[in-house]
Amino acid sequence: PNASLVRASGKCAECHLRQQYSVVHEYEMSKHGEKGITCLDCHQPAPNQKGKDHNGFTITTHMTSGNCRSCHEGVYQEFQRSRHAAVAWAAVYGAEGLPAEQVSFAEKYQPGYANRPPHPFVKLEGMSAMVSGCAQCHSVGKPNEDGTIGTCTSCHTRHTSSVEIARLPRTCAQCHMGPDHSQIEIYEESRHGVLFEAQREQLNMKAEPKSLTTRDMFVPTCAICHMSGINGLKVTHDPSERLSYYLADAISKQRPNYLQAQNNMKQICTQCHASTLVNRVYDQAEKVLTDTNTKVQAAKDIVDGLHKDNLLTGPPFSNPIDFTYFDLWHYDGRTSKHGAFMGGADFVQWHGNYPILSKTVELKTRAEELRKGHGSTRSTSETNQPGTK
């Protein structure tokens, strides 16, 4: 590429071709470049942003969702309602650092998930672990100095601003992976994931979002099911619009918009599948969810009983029992439920229900030992019945 090919200020291209070739090349390939969006259109300071002089131009180098908002207001508002925004940040750091109005806004759509204290791991593991670990994903909802929340480039990358990259399962897998949210592992085991790998070259990953059809994407990726507006359906940047349960919680309950959200997702499913199959899959997944809830509740009752009888009195994660129960619901319970809804049989069983069973036995054994050590005559089975509170 050269300066004449790049639809930006000649000065920007002239310098950055020499200093940062990749920036210019990525921009040249982007939809922004194709449409004539200039460097300054994005890099000029948005409201409440501090600008700095850069070779005669006033720019900002700390890009936020506020810069994208100037053109994509509707997308910005959908993102703000989602769990990718303030709720993602609060899951680690709590409401600290979030503007009060952002907490209030998030609570309207995700009640109980923004106005919360920091996670105990922030103190226990230390800030360096948080910055290089949790925050690398949860900063998608980081509060910015300009009063906005988050960054769009977590999914869209910077100078390419690529819808193709946002549609790739591996883009979502940067965060949605591992034992506590193993969506990518489940997807890759599922028939959807297998077909994507086999037929990826035939898919039109660059198709325009507003005109996307099953001719373009006849195999779904994460974005197709959770965000895209395939065959004329509504595009959304709030994945919650198609989620009917809080699957990440220890005991998963229906979301307030349960019926509408389930219908929204089923509309996506029926672009490729018969409604009878879709309903059958949903019914079976909900059975797994209900049974998983019951098993996790039984484990929770054991731990709650120890707290009630003042046998677990230390701070969070000061006893091996704390870790066993946390792993049971945070890893295994979540995985069982996600596997059921996403077609991951091995994750329902060997990464879900089996370790739940194993760790429940471990919890019972540890609880009995703790009670005996404190002279308690009551057994765990007497004080904690499965599924009770």
Q: What is the pLDDT of residues 272-323, one digit of tens each?
A: 999 999 999 999 999 999 999 999 999 999 999 999 999 999 999 999 999 9
Question: Residue 147, SS3?
Answer: coil
Side chain identity, residue 172: C
> 360, 368 in Cβ contact below 8 A?
no
Quickly state the pLDDT bin for 251 (edges 50, 70, 90): very high
The helix (H) or strand (E) run that includes residue 278 is helix 275-308
Q: What is the pLDDT of residues 340-356, one digit of tens each?
A: 999 999 999 999 999 99
Give every CB contact of residue 63 below 8 A, 6+ residues apart in sequence: 42, 43, 151, 153, 158
pTM of the complete model: 0.93
Tallying the residues shown for the chain, one arrives at 389
Quickly state the pLDDT bin for 387 (edges 50, 70, 90): very low
Give every CB contact of residue 315 below 8 A, 6+ residues apart in sequence: 120
Burial class (CB in 10 A: 0-12, 13-18, 19+), 237: buried
Number of CB atoms found within 10 A of residue 260's CB: 13
Quickly state the pLDDT bin for 1 (edges 50, 70, 90): very low
> 171, 155 in Cβ contact below 8 A?
yes
Position 10 scores a pLDDT of: 64
Return the percentage of the chain with pLDDT > 70, whole number.
Answer: 94
Question: Is pLDDT of 383 > 70?
Answer: no
In degrees and rounded to multiples of 5, residue 344 shows phi and psi of -110, 85
DSSP string, 171-204: HHTTTS-STTS-HHHHHHHSHHHHHHHHHGGGS-
Distance CA 64, CA 129 (A): 24
DSSP 8-state symbol, 352: I
Pairing of strands 52-54, 57-59: antiparallel
